[in-house]
Structure 1
Amino acid sequence: MVKNHGKKQRAKQRSRRTGAAHASAAAGTTHTHEPLPDMAVLEELPHRAGRELDTELAARLVAACRTACKPCQKTLAQKLRTEQRPTLVALAAAVYALVPSVGAFASATTRSWAPLARAGKSDPAAAAEALAAVEAMDDVAASELLEDALDHWSVGAIDSAEKLADMVKVVPADGAPPRQQPADPMDAFRDAGVKVFTLDDLDLGDDVDTYHLAPNYGVLLMRTTTPDGQPMPMLTLYPETEDAGIEDLERRTDWEHWGLHGMPDTDPAWRVRARISDRSLRGLVHVGADGKDTVELWRAAETVSLPDTWWDLLDRVQHVLVVGPVASPEAPGAMEAAGEAGELLAVVARVAFV
């Protein structure tokens, strides 16, 4: 009896130490998944808020995910959720504090927590709040956050946490290159001492229409399908003026790079205006906090009634996937080529019926 009791105690200790199921630990059949990733970078994240992390447990869990070992994933994930919430926070923050978007498939839990993670990069109070929020989650919510984070960690091409951190600092989650905010071409004149006046400096008032003074776009009606299989209206932007294009859109919008997978975030400040009386589209604008248009990318030059099926879909969904720029959107493969080159931006805009 004493011998058996000692064996059971050693099995329990081995189970607690390795995260393996008790039966496996008792039988001496525990296994590891190689190579174990280096999780030292987790210790440098402010989101741990000074708490001790179990980087060995994190490494074993990520390794199990990369080898698709379901039993180990289940056991180790449960151990992490119940005993090591700070480590869970560090795993999630290494992803969601750095990527610009959680992606279309992320859970509601992750979507609500990710802003805390991003704020925690530079604000110790926000980092502590991110930790507190996870510690207050029930098991279901903690599971959702952990599963979403592990989807990123399980990418086989990433060999260590440090490489993941380096990657997400320069590459958004969809694999596109980082956004480049083009320099103002007038800066060269300013640096040379030349006085530069802008339209804002001239204060021309609201009576002056500045639409054609900025780059303009045309739109092509399309349809797409959401990740859950639902139809959705789509507009593809193409340049109508020489200065319209990827650099202009990056300067005038905060749309995310999109690689034709999943669905970009919804921004209700972007509006596709549709007129009910003649079933036509009128424009694509960004509306500021004061209700005034701050950016106008496209304006209908003439009234064209939409096809009944497209209008009915617009009326039902009341959101539009807006994608661009594509120089020749009707050319076969043009959009795919732009997406693969990292030169495609997208947003889900609201429909404003007028």
Structure 2
Amino acid sequence: MVKSHGKKQRAKKKAQRTGASYSSAAAGTTHTHTPLPDLSMLPLVPHGSWRVLDLDLAARLVAACRAKCQPCQQTLITKMVTEQRATLAALAGAVYGTLPAVGFGASATTWQWAPLARTAMRSGAGDEAFTAVEAMDATAATALLNDALDHWVLAAVGSAEEPASPGTADRRGASRQADPMDAVRAAGVEVFTLDDLDLPDDIDTYYLAPNYGVMLMKANTSDGRPMPMLVLYPETEDAGIEDLERRTNWEHWGLHGMPDTDPQWRVRARIADRSLQGLVRVGPDGKDNHELWRAAETVSLSEQWWNLLAHTQHVLIAGPVKMPEAPGVMEAAGDAGELLAVVARVEFV
């Protein structure tokens, strides 16, 4: 009995120390995600006087998000929200104390708290920002932490670690259909793509792929803020849902909530004539590795739409919809699981 009791106590302490569940700690099946990020700079972020940070917990949480391990995320987020508000304030302060704007996709809690983080970073005193975090209920603190973690995951893009996006760190985890060409390959049929062909450098491959047009619209975030929206519609017969599933990593969207933000997708906007130039995906090196849409002609945007674009600096992209102006067509596509969406960054040129 004494031996059994001692084993239970050790498992309990291990669970508390690692953030793992009690059953995992007792069974010896706890795991870690490597590499752990270097968060040695975190104590330099104003987080409240004389409060000790749990850098190990913070590093394991960020690593779990980058590894897309949802069980570890849920356990470690709960532990940080309930036990380590100072560490939470430092993780969030490192992000929102330096960003000039919160970003449209952030929660209302983050919008309210971010000015305190910026003030703390400028003054070097974090007591007010920490007090606000300490006073939050669990739901609000979790929302702030989730928003900050999305940015910490983005810090891995372009590094030696596996590139990730807020969507992959997110707890929503939308499923994605398989590439329909996989079945063809499995049957022994050799499939060629444009990347497999040895084309001359002066060939514009954009017009060899399925083409789309875009329709300008507006949407509202979950807390009612307006944001610009582009709806894709097919311009060639081979354009459509299967093509977008094959060429993008966008999630299936039912018009409920907001889709994930992927900063590697960029909407290019030209300042000189206030026009949209195209929609591209950039690689970890910052160079274009995929062009999904290109403006066929220069069309200046309305002042209202352009100002909204400049304010949010993000665009909701959704499609494909054959007739985006038809009443109810977006809702029908979403209900049928035939609507993909992403939130892209705006890149002004």
TM range (shorter): 0.5 to 0.7
Q: Which residue of 2 aligns with 1:50?
A: 24
Q: Which residue of 2 aligns with 1:80?
A: none
CA distance in 1, matches of 2:253, 2:202: 37
Shift of 1:294: 1.9
Identical amino acids, percent of aligned pairs: 60
Q: Which residue of 1 aligns with 2:194?
A: 199
Q: For residues 48 and 212 of structure 1, do their structure 2 counterparts lie closer, same or farther at Cα, with a shift above 3 Å needed?
A: farther
Q: Secondary structure at the match of 1:294?
A: strand
1:233/1:320 contact within 8 Å kept? yes
2:81/2:138 contact within 8 Å kept? no
From 267, 270, 276, the equivalent of 2:271 is 276
1:48/1:131 contact within 8 Å kept? no
Q: Structure 1, unaligned stretches of length 5 or more?
A: 1-45, 54-85, 87-111, 149-171
CA distance in 1, matches of 2:264, 2:238: 24
CA distance in 2, matches of 1:147, 1:338: 32
Q: For residues 131 and 260 of structure 1, do their structure 2 counterparts lie closer, same or farther at Cα, with a shift above 3 Å needed?
A: closer
2:77/2:142 contact within 8 Å kept? no
Cα-to-partner distance string for 1:105-125 (whole Å, 9 max, x where unaligned): xxxxxxx95972684759xxx
2:267/2:315 contact within 8 Å kept? yes
Give the number of aligned pairs: 223
Q: Which residue of 1 aligns with 2:9?
A: none
Q: Which residue of 1 aligns with 2:260?
A: 265
Residues 1:181 and 2:178 aligned together: yes
Q: Secondary structure at the match of 1:227?
A: coil
CA distance in 2, matches of 1:115, 1:288: 22
Q: For residues 206 and 291 of structure 1, do their structure 2 counterparts lie closer, same or farther at Cα, with a shift above 3 Å needed?
A: farther
Q: Which residue of 2 aligns with 1:224?
A: 219
Higher-Rg member (1/2)? 1
Shift of 1:181: 1.9
Cα-to-partner distance string for 1:117-149 (whole Å, 9 max, x where unaligned): 684759xxx94x87456435445679239988x
CA distance in 2, matches of 1:341, 1:200: 31
Moved more, 342-351 or 205-214: 205-214
Q: How does 1:94-133 map to 2 (within 5 A)?
A: 116=64, 119=67, 127=72, 131=75
CA distance in 2, matches of 1:338, 1:243: 18
1:271/1:352 contact within 8 Å kept? yes
Residues 1:345 and 2:289 aligned together: no
Moved more, 304-313 or 139-148: 139-148
Residues 1:135 and 2:132 aligned together: no
Structure 1 residue identity aligned to 2:188: D
Residues 1:326 and 2:321 aligned together: yes
CA distance in 2, matches of 1:144, 1:273: 36
Q: For residues 133 and 210 of structure 1, do their structure 2 counterparts lie closer, same or farther at Cα, with a shift above 3 Å needed?
A: same
Using the size of structure 2 for normalisation, the TM-score is 0.55
Q: For residues 274 and 256 of structure 1, do their structure 2 counterparts lie closer, same or farther at Cα, with a shift above 3 Å needed?
A: same
Using the size of structure 1 for normalisation, the TM-score is 0.54
Q: Secondary structure at the match of 2:309?
A: helix
Shift of 1:322: 0.7
Residues 1:309 and 2:292 aligned together: no
Q: For residues 280 and 132 of structure 1, do their structure 2 counterparts lie closer, same or farther at Cα, with a shift above 3 Å needed?
A: closer
RMSD: 3.8
